[in-house]
Amino acid sequence: MTRQKGELATGVIRGSHGVRGELKVQSFSGETGHFSQLERVTLRKGTTTVEYRVEGVRRQRGKVLLKLADIDSPEAARHFTGYEIWVPREQAAPCGEDEYYIADLLGLKLVYEGRPVATVASVWDSGAASMLEVVTAEDKTVVVPFQDPYIGEVRLSSGEIDLRTLWILE
């Protein structure tokens, strides 16, 4: 199983900045260096998808400001508030040890003592921890904290995540 293709969402536009149409960007990973290397981005919100050439990236007070071609006013920039920024995987911030892209966790099998018991349907942040929403073999939806007491080794290559305790699915 390979999960190395495609695009990844790397951030979201939080509003406009200044009079030139710059976009305020919140990075999903907290990393911002990769934005400086981008030449093109895809903006997505719902079913709307548009592609833009990157004209410039700068940092101001810890924020990333992105300038895209043909977005030249605060009004035009504000239109894109809430749009996600998608880039080819190879242009996204690299993952550190024990870090994963959400896209890579989706569809993985939760395995308990070598037996598949659920499939990851979605991943979301509860504030205290990331949560895996999984669907069991009985078609029951359960939320499992993506934390050490519940989750063991993640094996992207085989598409599996070790579940440390089965009772959490009950």
Cα atoms found within 13 Å of the Cα of residue 169, Cβ hemisphere only: 21
Q: Convert the pLDDT of each residue in 44-59 to its tens digit.
A: 999 999 999 999 999 8
User: For residues 35 and 124, what is the distance between their CA atoms, to the nearest angstrom?
Assistant: 23
Per DSSP, 74 falls in state H
Predicted confidence (pLDDT) at residue 4 exceeds the cutoff of 50: no
Average pLDDT over residues 147-168: 92
Q: Are residues 124 and 155 in the same domain?
A: yes
User: For residues 166 and 139, what is the distance between their CA atoms, to the nearest angstrom?
Assistant: 16
In a domain, 127, yes or no: yes
Q: Convert the pLDDT of each residue in 26-44 to its tens digit.
A: 988 788 888 999 999 999 9
Predicted confidence (pLDDT) at residue 9 exceeds the cutoff of 70: yes
Global pTM value: 0.71
Choose the final residue of a domain: 67, 91, 115: 91
Q: Which domain range does residue 20 map to?
A: 7-91
Q: Are residues 144 and 82 in the same domain?
A: no
Count of the separate structural domains present in the chain: 2
Which has the closest alpha carbon to 84: 31, 11, 33, 28?
11
Average pLDDT over residues 123-140: 88
